[in-house]
Structure 1
Amino acid sequence: MINGSKRISAPIRWAMVGGGRDSQIGYIHRSAALRDQSFVLVAGAFDIDPQRGRDFGVQLGVAPERCYADYRSLFEAEARRPDGIQAVSVATPNGTHFAITKAALEAGLHVVCEKPLCFTVQEAETLRELALARHKVVGVTYGYAGHQLIEQAREMIARGELGEIRMVHMQFAHGFHSQAVENQNAATQWRVDPRLAGPSYVLGDVGTHPLYLSEVMLPDLKIKRLMCVRQSFVKSRAPLEDNAYTLMEYEGGAMGHVWSSAVNAGSMHGQKIRVIGSRASLEWWDERPNQLSFEVQGKPAQILERGMGYLHASALLDDRIGAGHPEGLFEAWSNLYYRFAMAMEATDRNDAERLASLRYPDIDAGVEGVRWVERCVQSADDGGVWVDY
């Protein structure tokens, strides 16, 4: 169980690009990073408006002279300081991720980036090569993977408790954009603008989340080919989709399905993953993250609860409070951020053994998310045909 004690020798000096006062995601980045003595926020370029960003940074406790107008001046000025930043989180619209992450790596910084990492596999491979060359960590914020019962599911599958894996059903299908809410909500407008959001909307925005959960639970299951169709039910969003169905065939014959949607009217979140084997099935739903359904054919269904002693040891490591008390998304993100910090420190110390023991959404996870979106868009735009992965 996590008790707040230090996991690394000293907090990592950290900055943010984006994540300003009106950001939908900035606060959870800061809350997660600062929670376990792993990071200290010392600088930032928090807003596209420099004065607004400076005012907000000061409210966060950042010195005024370290609240910068943009990411370029941030990286350049901090590089000249003896106490300059060691890492940066990128919490900006999708279209800026590649340029900012690339510049950060070139400046010798570790990076935590919102997904998608970039728009194309070619760009993603460029970032991976740069991260390897500069010996820096790139983490991607697939925050739901920080929930402990994802580890429980991984262990149960690895031990053969489900039998041979046959199907993986995934969805992230909420209803909050079932109408053209972007007409009144500036924070949503960029998500449906191809110049800023990239080649997809819901495939990249929500579909990659359960996809990454499947990669954690089923690390040996590799996609062979996929087929995708996508729709723009709110017509003004075309060519970007607000609903998509992706069918996947895995090497070995298992099948997978992802429903990505922002127009599932009435649904609060609708993110679920169900893994179906020859003997039993598991299901996890992010609206009830402290429970994991385990259904063995011919036996009563079971609900496994977070924090209980009957769980595997790896599912108990990241508990922050005893069983019965609910833990949520802020705790899950915090679990990822302390792993990011440990990976950064291990990388800086060339501690390969420590680094190999850590599992977190890294540059490879970012590349695969971009690859999946790219292949889905290719399939859909070619008429919903099978494409090799």
Structure 2
Amino acid sequence: MINGEMQLNAPIRWAMVGGGRSSQIGYIHRSAALRDSSFQLVAGAFDIDAEAGRQFGIRLGVAADRCYPDYKAMFEAEARRADGIRAVSVATPNGTHFEICKAALLAGLHVVCEKPLCFTTAEANALLALARQARKIVGVTYGYAGHQLIEQARQMIARGDLGEVRIVNMQFAHGFHSAAAEADNPSAKWRVDPKIAGPSYVLGDIGTHPLYLSEVMLPDLKIESLLCTRQSFIQSRAPLEDNAFTIMKYTSGAIGYVWSCAVNAGSMHGQKIRVIGSRASLEWWDERPNQLSYEVQGQPAQILERGMGYLHARAIEDDRIGAGHPEGLFEAWSNLYYRYALAIDATDRGDAQALREIRYPDIHAGIDGVRWVENCVRSADNGGIWVKYT
């Protein structure tokens, strides 16, 4: 990947729903998608305020007549164009995701969606059926999974370097909402409104990130049951939680822990995952994403560095600049959007073999996140009891 050569014959004509001027996440979508010339932004419904969205799109270089007032108008108009869009990214509040994704798939478009994909597993399974019927991909932006050393951890665990996996300890525990930040911040306010955010705050908003990393690193680890307790330390957020602890029993006999928290005062980000085996452990921290700690019992601890020749070949594929130069979240997102483009291309060409070899957070990752949140909420709202994972 470090040579930066184009892998597609032409960039994918692409649009955004949301991601306008006030969006917290719109810029990284565009930066990642455009980084490798795999996508071309040609249309958008960027803002709930149609005129603000039009002005914003024009400043991005999108033609005025392709800056639409809403996603329905965009999908209808673009379908009539010979040069219409092939894919769309959804960067809107949670409560809109299902209807927009559904409409996009019915319009014959590939979809990249912010998480959560929707609110219920029934909705998620409906999107899966539509995606299969339309023969389109659905990507979910678990952006941290694009970091090179996540793939390195996956390969080391598969190789047996850790021995039998016993414990998976996960957390995403920042402190930026330790006070009622949403009181005067519209971008934060909707996240604690059940009508828009859904049945959870931190479980769905941040807890699913390290959960997905665990699924990448340990694809064969399956949850058997879980116990969750959640709290609203800022009372105005109730019934949504700003702190939650989840314990999971896996079918293999291993156990997992997830701490999801927005009130960890003083913590910048606090997303970590530690996989503990019978012989060794691995730990990755997103504030130091270019290092992977590898600790073998009875030996000196090792730090594996991004970009080095001793890493697995699949990890090296994600390299964007030589070792020693730090890569960050924008590079990780770019890796995912690059894979989305390859998956879209392979799907449209009917190349099932190529598609199988592309790892990216797909609709099944989205379903898994929705399912986990549902089970956590069910456990917590019944008094923090063990529930069978359904």
1:34 maps onto 2:34 in alignment: yes
Partner of 1:219: 219
RMSD of Structure 2 on Structure 1 (CA) = 0.5
1:146 is aligned with what amino acid?
Answer: G
1:102 maps onto 2:117 in alignment: no
Partner of 1:259: 259
Partner of 2:199: 199
1:388 Cα offset (Å): 1.1
2:50 is aligned with what amino acid?
Answer: P
Partner of 1:15: 15
1:4 Cα offset (Å): 1.8
Partner of 1:368: 368
Partner of 1:178: 178
Q: How does 1:104-143 map to 2 (within 5 A)?
A: 104-143=104-143
Unpaired segments of 5 or more residues in structure 2?
none
| TM-score when normalising by structure 2 | 0.99
Partner of 2:329: 329
User: Aligned equivalents of 2:387 and 2:9: distance in 1?
Assistant: 47
1:2 Cα offset (Å): 2.4
1:310 Cα offset (Å): 1.1
1:330 Cα offset (Å): 0.1
1:51 is aligned with what amino acid?
Answer: E
Partner of 2:280: 280
1:378 Cα offset (Å): 0.4
Aligned length: 389
1:171 is aligned with what amino acid?
Answer: Q
Q: How does 1:219-368 map to 2 (within 5 A)?
A: 219-368=219-368
1:135 Cα offset (Å): 0.3
2:291 is aligned with what amino acid?
Answer: Q
User: Aligned equivalents of 2:244 and 2:161: distance in 1?
Assistant: 32
Partner of 1:208: 208
Give the 3-state SS of the residue equivalent to 1:379 in structure 2.
helix
1:3 Cα offset (Å): 2.0
1:383 is aligned with what amino acid?
Answer: G
Residues 186-213 of structure 1: CA deviation (Å, up to 9, x unaligned): 1100000000000000000000000000
Give the 3-state SS of the residue equivalent to 1:239 in structure 2.
coil
Residues 289-323 of structure 1: CA deviation (Å, up to 9, x unaligned): 00000000000101000001111111111111100
User: Aligned equivalents of 1:387 and 1:69: distance in 2?
Assistant: 44
Residues 109-164 of structure 1: CA deviation (Å, up to 9, x unaligned): 00000000000000000000110111000000000000000011001100000000
Residues 35-54 of structure 1: CA deviation (Å, up to 9, x unaligned): 11110000000000000000
Whether contact under 8 Å (1:175, 1:268) holds in the other structure is yes
- Ranges of 4+ aligned residues in structure 1 off by more than 2 Å: none
Unpaired segments of 5 or more residues in structure 1?
none
User: Aligned equivalents of 1:9 and 1:310: distance in 2?
Assistant: 33
| TM-score when normalising by structure 1 | 1.00
Whether contact under 8 Å (1:282, 1:295) holds in the other structure is yes
